[in-house]
Structure 1
Amino acid sequence: MNCGTYCRTVSDDRIDEKYEECLGPCFKCSQVAIREQASAHKPGDEQIARQSFEQCWANIPTFGAFKISK
């Protein structure tokens, strides 16, 4: 997950504060997705990564309403 690009899509581009608030949780969820891929022994599996990221993201109160566009 490219968090820099992703956070520009889920936050208001004009408000850098919101963008910066998005980065930490995004990096955390990206790490969760990478760990899930590794534990499934399927590095690079986009579906596992996307599902793991979305599950993590949904549990973050500030950003949980935003979903990854397919």
Structure 2
Amino acid sequence: MYRFNVHDFSWFERYPTSPATLQNKINELVYCSYNTKARVESINPETGEYRIILQGTLDMHGWWPEETH
């Protein structure tokens, strides 16, 4: 499986993408993390717009090649 790394975070700042693509990228991030949590920051019941904060720690132990330490 692909390992999410710190350089992949810039992907989230790009233009909007499909829900399926976003789900895959978030799945990769969560799978490669520990101590993850999510918090609903806001929800607008009239429009359906929401904001969710995802927080965690990327598990980098044993992932980075020796030359990048």
Q: TM-score, normalised by structure 1?
A: 0.29
- Larger CA Rg, structure 1 vs 2: 2
Bigger relative contact order, structure 1 or 2 (CA pairs below 8 A, ≥6 apart)? 2
Query: Where is the strand percentage greater, Structure 1 or Structure 2?
Result: 2
Q: TM-score, normalised by structure 2?
A: 0.30
